[in-house]
Amino acid sequence: MDTALTALLKLPRKAKQERGLQYTPDEIHGQVDLWTDTLVRIEKRLPEIRSFLKPFTAGQRTSCILTGAGTSEFVGYCVEGLFRSKLALPTNVFSTTRIVTNPEDLFIRGVNTLMVSFARSGNSPESVGAVRIADSMGGKVSHLVVTCNREGNLIGEIEGREQSLAIDLHRKTNDRGLAMTSSFSNMVVAAQALAYACEFEKLAGHGERLASCGRQVLQVAPDVIEQVCRLDFDRAVFLGSGSNYGTAIESHLKLQELTGGSVMCAYDTFPGLRHGPEAVINDHTLVVAFLSRDPYVQRYEIDLLEDIRKKGLGMAVLVSCSNNAGPLTGLADFIVEYDPGQKHDISDDLTPPLHVITGQLIGLFKSVRLGYRPDSPSESGVINRVVEGVRVYDPLRFRERGSFDIIAER
């Protein structure tokens, strides 16, 4: 059955080129089929991964930093809780952009650190710079890289080192469009699998269930979201709990990127919205809620949606959820369900790849609606697929000598 998304996929090649639709629609549509491949890649390397992780799961004084820049950083927020709960490892998300500017604030001397770097291309200066700076901070740092580009500079930086490991994903995850879509969801799936490395058997059948729900989203969401994007909203607020707080962060960036900044976005937790950010919601604001399956968590989310409806806030509310079993009656104008028949039991901390498709599609269809070219929506060239014009400096050399020695640039 055709959808608003498959209609874009079926456009003639020339029309795709002219409208900037060669890559992004296909990468959103094709990501689901790559999730199983990503899980298989992790499973094949389990002995190596478990051996690598053993020093950090043996109860020693260790810590974990999940890092990346932009969308790659947001992968970390989707799996931060999983790394803590499944690996019993103190874990924080620090972007590479924070690491290169203020490394002394982030690394603890005398503590062995596992630094997990996420990167689509692996060619951003901060990716390599963060690795080099981490190594200079006086503690033992082990590097685990998850990337979509086997040939990227980041893999080249850590290859051959002791206590380092690189996971490269299918070449198709290395998105050619400006906005990261398939690369994001597949790095999230890979990171989730890494968190389960010591008990991987618990993920038995997960790939098939996840892909089935992903195909459900791709079947129902495009037409719903294409209709949503006909509305004249110029702001959007994305809300998520737990792992899907990361989904909310990533979705807000997708919509801003793909509309060249024409739609300004915010993100928060559901209770957090009440503490000031609710003020950004006006009559031209779309509210997007990624709903939890956990009844306890969902109670907070429903309370917030009821508050929004009671106050008459926003232009429309779109909810992404497992299934609409009743609590959303009168609270949502649009609903996307990824498991309407409740056939699959996927825990909340594994659902970001499903929910984020909704965020990606909002970005795509609003970009098309506003006349942008989704593959390259920044008409002025302000943002690029790989960041440009960045220099990373050696912090120790500056502290010692006051000199700005460049250690990475593009």
CA–CA distance from 81 to each of 77, 118, 167, 315 (Å)? Answer: 8, 16, 21, 33
* Amino acid letter, 65: I
* 3-state secondary structure (DSSP) of residue 62: strand
User: Could you count the other beta carbons within 10 Å of the beta carbon of residue 204?
Assistant: 8
CA-based nearest residue to 289, from 357, 228, 238: 238
pLDDT of residue 383: 60
Which residues, other chains included, contact 34 with Cβ-Cβ below 8 Å and sequence gap of 6+? 169, 170, 172, 173, 182, 186
15-204+381-410 and 206-379 have identical folds: yes
CB 143 within 8 A of CB 171: no
Write out 282-324 in H/E/C secondary structure: CCCEEEEEECCCCHHHHHHHHHHHHHHHHHCCCCEEEEEECCC
pLDDT of residue 162: 84
- How big is the CA angle at 248 (ends 98 and 368), to the nearest 5 degrees? 105
The token duo for 111 is 């503590």
For the chain of 410 residues, list the mean pLDDT of each consecutive stretch of 10. Answer: 94 96 97 97 97 83 93 98 95 96 90 95 92 88 96 92 93 95 98 97 95 97 98 98 98 96 96 92 97 95 96 97 84 96 94 98 98 85 64 76 76
pLDDT of residue 380: 63
**Facing residues of 236 across strands?**
265, 286
CATH of the domain spanning 15-204+381-410: 3.40.50.10490
CATH of the domain spanning 206-379: 3.40.50.10490
* Amino acid letter, 21: L
Buried b (16+ CB within 10 A) or exposed e, 259-295: bbeebebbbbbbeebeeeebebbeeebbbbbbbbbee
What is the signed CA dihedral for 238, 206, 35, 90, rounded to 10 degrees?
60
CA distance 117 to 130: 9
The residue to which tokens 């820049």 are assigned: 69
pLDDT of residue 59: 65
The token duo for 119 is 């990167």
CA distance 123 to 282: 39
What is the signed CA dihedral for 121, 288, 215, 84, rounded to 10 degrees?
60
CB 157 within 8 A of CB 46: no
* Sign (positive or negative) of CA dihedral 184, 186, 188, 194: negative
pLDDT of residue 382: 59
The token duo for 75 is 């992968």
* Amino acid letter, 102: N
Kindly list the domain boundaries of the chain, sorted by start residue.
15-204+381-410, 206-379
For residue 230, how many C-alpha atoms fall within 13 Å in the half-sphere facing its CB? 7
CB 245 within 8 A of CB 239: no
Phi, psi (degrees; rounded to nearest 5) at 241: -115, 150
The beta strands (E) that lie in 38-197 are given as 62-67, 91-93, 112-119, 141-147, 164-168
CA distance 369 to 363: 10
